Amino acid sequence: MKDILILGIETSCDETAASIVKNGRHILSNVINSQINIHREFGGVVPEVASRKHIENIAVVVDNAFQEAGLGYNDVDAIAVTNQPGLIGALLVGVSFAKGFAWALGRPLLAVNHLHGHIYANVLEHGDISFPAVCLVVSGGHTSLLYMKDINHYKVIGETRDDAAGEAFDKVARFLGLGYPGGPAIQKAAAQGTAGKMKLPRIFLDKNDFEFSFSGLKTAAMNAWKRIEKSRELEVTDLAAEFQQALVEVLVEKSLKAAKINRVESLLMAGGVAANEHLRFLMKEKADQENIKVYYPSLALCTDNAAMIAGVAYQQYITKSYAPLELNAHPGLLSL
């Protein structure tokens, strides 16, 4: 049987990425050009700047992906690209490039939901996932719990009603002067502090559902720091530790509740916040007590990357679910 090689392109936010994946599982190249250092001075991603940088970088990044894989343009069987959700200008750069590339090579075009890619990153690294499963998606502006019948069929069973976990990390880190991106910045500060010296709320843990809300936790952390900043009753590292602990506890408890109620033996984590060391540790510790197997990607595949896009697109390729060359980008989440 012929190997299927798919070029993936990802430009939904501030990483310009290209990857070639064989048969939906084997990563031949995975090139990422990050703009973190550019946006750090602004305390967050500036959409216009991100789009312009994608335009400058995309051709070079794609060429590097082919060179890393030792392949030529005509060796790939299809072109996959993220077309939702994300920053509209950034998405359009990737979609436009992918359409032109697919047309020039006479290859099929495959449209990929960015969040599907994050979920599929688990498949790239773990071949023994048992379904059905529950998946916690914590990516940028999205925090959701999904029931997965298999790798291709998802049902949303809970999601955030306001700020996502990643947004809360970024906003609190910026307020506390810890830097950008917020997740790694708070994790680093928390490692030097002690949770529990003050108490922040665990929002929605008292509700018998799978919904999330992190706006109240964010506001509580900011108000607490305003009260104690001048008196220095606590160090900023202690507040960072308590904030991280409160947020992670909610994610873990809600996820395990969903897994137990749906009687699944597998719990997946996906997205940038899935790289948080404390979340990984606490989720595994609690899941082991319930005999639930936890899966999460390596740190390199938690961040935005194109290997996950090329990987998940393999499922579309084998079913011939091609996208038209009139494909457009969508900033919001049309479907999950």
Q: What is the pLDDT of residues 42-101, one digit of tens each?
A: 778 888 888 999 999 999 999 999 999 999 999 999 999 999 999 999 999 999 999 999
- Across 30-39, 103-112, 130-139, the highest mean pLDDT is recorded for 103-112
The separation between the first and the last C-alpha atoms of the chain, rounded to the nearest angstrom, is 31
Which one of 3.60.21.10, 3.30.420.40, 3.40.228.10, 3.30.56.10 gives the CATH number of domain 131-264? 3.30.420.40
Return the number of other C-beta atoms located less than 10 Å from residue 207's C-beta. 11
How many of the other CB atoms lie within 10 Å of CB of 202? 14
Contacts of 50 (CB under 8 A, 6+ apart): 13, 14, 35, 39, 87, 89, 90
Q: How far apart, in Å, are the Cα atoms of 15 and each of 12, 219, 316, 320?
A: 7, 29, 24, 28
* C-alpha–C-alpha distance, residues 119 and 197, integer Å: 36
Distance CA 276, CA 193 (A): 16
What is the overall mean pLDDT for the chain?
93
On whether the CB atoms of residues 122 and 268 are closer than 8 A, the answer is: yes
pLDDT at position 71 = 98
Residue pointed to by tokens 């479907």: 335
Report DSSP state, residue 49.
H
**Residues 268-299: pLDDT tens digits?**
999 999 999 999 999 999 999 999 999 999 99
Both structure tokens of 230: 């001048």
pTM value?
A: 0.93
Is the fold of 5-118+302-318 the same as that of 131-264?
yes
Cis before residue 331, ω within 30 degrees of 0?
no
CB contact at 8 A, 173 and 239: no
Please name the CATH architecture into which domain 5-118+302-318 falls. Answer: 2-Layer Sandwich (3.30)
- Beta-carbon-side half-sphere exposure of residue 150 (alpha carbons within 13 Å): 2
Work out whether strand 5-10 and strand 15-22 pair parallel, antiparallel, or are unpaired.
antiparallel
Residue whose tokens read 């079913």: 319
Q: Which residue has the tokens 């190997």?
A: 3
Minimal CA–CA distance to 307: which of 85, 51, 68, 28? 28
- Note the pLDDT of residue 73: 98
Q: Where are the domains of the chain?
A: 5-118+302-318, 131-264
